[in-house]
Amino acid sequence: MFRWYVINTYSGHENKVKTNLEHRLQSMGQEERVRRIVIPTEQVVETTKDGKKEQSEKRVLPGYVLVQMDMTADALWVVKNTPGVTGFVGAANEPTPLSQMEVDRLLRTQSAESRAKVRAEFAIGETVKVIAGPLSDFSGEIAEINTEQGRLKVLVEIFGRETPADLSFDQVKKLT
């Protein structure tokens, strides 16, 4: 019966472990015991100091690899003895399978339809300059940050009064 298990690896060696495991399974005739090997990642959009957006892929679980496998003694031996693998997640010598809900949550971060998370280095009270939109070239102070939507509420001074402006992260840049 195929179930999902979590393999503990050396941090930063997840891709190497995946490649090594695929080769070992094939060379030892155990490829029918493992359906999938997944390194959970998510797309993150970071705003740099100069206001540019950079998209990158971040590991959701550094140091871990998910494996969908039929747990037999031979398959367990092949996986455990793969270079870079430190063991399975579970009690003592018994690997614990993941629940379907955990698998769905982890694999959803992998799926193409998941939106890239936006991450920016902004703080409330910080002064920013608007670089796009109708308020371009105005400066203001950040009053609110909504990281889920990638938006800021910036208090911009217009005609001597502070006016709140709802802007996206890519419409502003930090003043240094």
Among residues of the chain, what percentage have pLDDT more than 70? 89
More confident residue, 124 or 147: 124
* Residue 83 and residue 154 share a domain: no
pLDDT digits (tens, 9 = 90+) for 109-122: 554 444 555 566 78
d(CA 124, CA 122): 7
Domain containing residue 161: CATH number: 2.30.30.30
* Residue 90 and residue 39 share a domain: yes
Q: pTM of the predicted model, to two decimals? A: 0.61
d(CA 16, CA 41): 15
* Residue 20 and residue 88 share a domain: yes
Boundaries of domain holding 146: 122-174
Q: What is the C-alpha end-to-end distance of the chain, expressed in Å?
A: 58
* Residue 114 and residue 126 share a domain: no
